């Protein structure tokens, strides 16, 4: 009986010990699970934050790159200087009998920065200093079948400017000569071959810097009688302006 009682008592003590052990372990397990869940959530939040930060950084970098491209383009455009170069030819049907007809889209002709050809005249886009230049090339005959002809052959070419600064703001604004050049090509001589040794080649070139105003207009004037002898091959007759 004493042995059975002892065994029963030991069993009861063991059962009580296990209960106490379980009670002491269970709270720890729950706490561990809570901590693990918290760490998991914290890791997920941190990962999400990193992902959002990376996307924001990439977006900011893309915006910066786009802004840089825009600024580069604007800087490039701001450095483009106004310029125009025209090639000329003689057109017998052109309504201006004393003017070379200027072309914008042939050979080396070009325009940029606001300088444009309008009604055979160059229009200035804004106030500033500009270099204006022009050349007219001729193939003239210095022979004559008139024995009494001893006249000289003169070539002339000029650039004229129309500007509101002259005081008139209407359609009657006068033109004033700003460039003019005259060259004596040859003297007439008696010859039966007008297309042979009596032909002379000569060019009239002129250029200078001018202070021009917005909406000023520039045109060329050449004597009608020598326009027939104008050479219009590429690079021989031209008219241009560029900003300084």
* Host domain of residue 1: 1-79
Going by C-alpha positions, the residue among 83, 85, 88 that lies closest to residue 234 is 88
Average pLDDT of span 204-220: 96
Q: Position of tokens 């106490």? A: 20
Q: Which of 29, 46, 79 delimits the end of a domain?
A: 79
Of 10-14, 166-170, 203-207, highest mean pLDDT: 203-207
Same domain, 91 and 73: no
Query: Is pLDDT of 185 > 90?
Result: no
Residue 60, helix vs strand vs coil: helix
Q: Position of tokens 């040794």? A: 197
Same domain, 115 and 72: no
Same domain, 72 and 134: no
98-123 as b/e: b if 16+ CB within 10 A: ebbbbbeeeeebebeeebebeebbbb
Going by C-alpha positions, the residue among 71, 103, 65, 68 that lies closest to residue 85 is 103
Q: Exposed (0-12), middle (13-18) or buried (19+): which is 155, by Cβ within 10 Å? A: buried
Same domain, 43 and 143: no
Same domain, 71 and 156: no
Query: Is pLDDT of 6 > 50?
Result: no
Domain total in the chain: 2
Tens digits of per-residue pLDDT, 55-71?
A: 666 655 665 566 666 65
Q: How far apart are CA 120 and CA 110, in angstroms?
A: 14
**CA angle at 54 for the pair 50 and 55, rounded to the nearest 5°:** 120
Q: Which of 79, 95, 119 delimits the end of a domain?
A: 79
Q: Which of 60, 79, 98 delimits the end of a domain?
A: 79
Tens digits of per-residue pLDDT, 106-137?
A: 888 999 999 999 999 999 999 999 999 999 99
Tens digits of per-residue pLDDT, 133-161?
A: 999 999 887 776 655 555 778 889 999 99
Same domain, 150 and 226: yes
Q: Which helix (H) or strand (E) holds 55?
A: helix 2-78
Its pTM stands at 0.64
Same domain, 32 and 101: no
Residue 200, helix vs strand vs coil: strand
Q: Exposed (0-12), middle (13-18) or buried (19+): which is 204, by Cβ within 10 Å? A: buried
Same domain, 129 and 167: yes
Average pLDDT of span 226-239: 92
Same domain, 67 and 99: no
Query: Is pLDDT of 2 > 50?
Result: no
Same domain, 62 and 100: no
């Amino acid at each position: 009986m004493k042995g059975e009682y002892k065994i029963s008592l030991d069993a009861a003590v063991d059962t009580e010990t296990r209960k106490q052990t379980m009670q002491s372990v269970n709270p720890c397990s729950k706490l561990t699970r809570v901590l693990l869940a918290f760490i998991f959530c914290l890791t997920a939040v941190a990962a999400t934050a990193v992902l959002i930060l990376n996307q924001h950084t990439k977006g900011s970098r893309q915006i910066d790159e786009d802004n840089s491209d825009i600024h580069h383009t604007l800087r490039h455009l701001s450095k483009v200087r106004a310029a125009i170069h025209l090639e000329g030819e003689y057109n017998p049907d052109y309504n201006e009998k004393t003017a070379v007809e200027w072309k914008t889209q042939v050979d080396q002709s070009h325009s940029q920065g606001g300088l444009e050809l309008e009604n055979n005249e160059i229009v200035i886009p804004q106030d500033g200093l500009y270099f204006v230049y022009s050349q007219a090339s001729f193939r003239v005959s210095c022979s004559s079948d008139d024995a009494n002809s001893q006249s000289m052959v003169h070539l002339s070419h000029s650039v004229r400017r129309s500007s509101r600064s002259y005081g008139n703001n209407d359609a009657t604004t006068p033109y004033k000569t700003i460039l003019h050049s005259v060259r004596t090509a040859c003297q007439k001589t008696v010859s039966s071959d007008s297309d042979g040794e009596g032909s002379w080649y000569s060019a009239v070139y002129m250029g200078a810097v001018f202070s021009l105003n917005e909406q000023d207009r520039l045109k060329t004037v050449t004597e009608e009688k020598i326009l027939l002898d104008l050479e219009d091959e590429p690079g021989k007759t031209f008219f241009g302006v560029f900003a300084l």
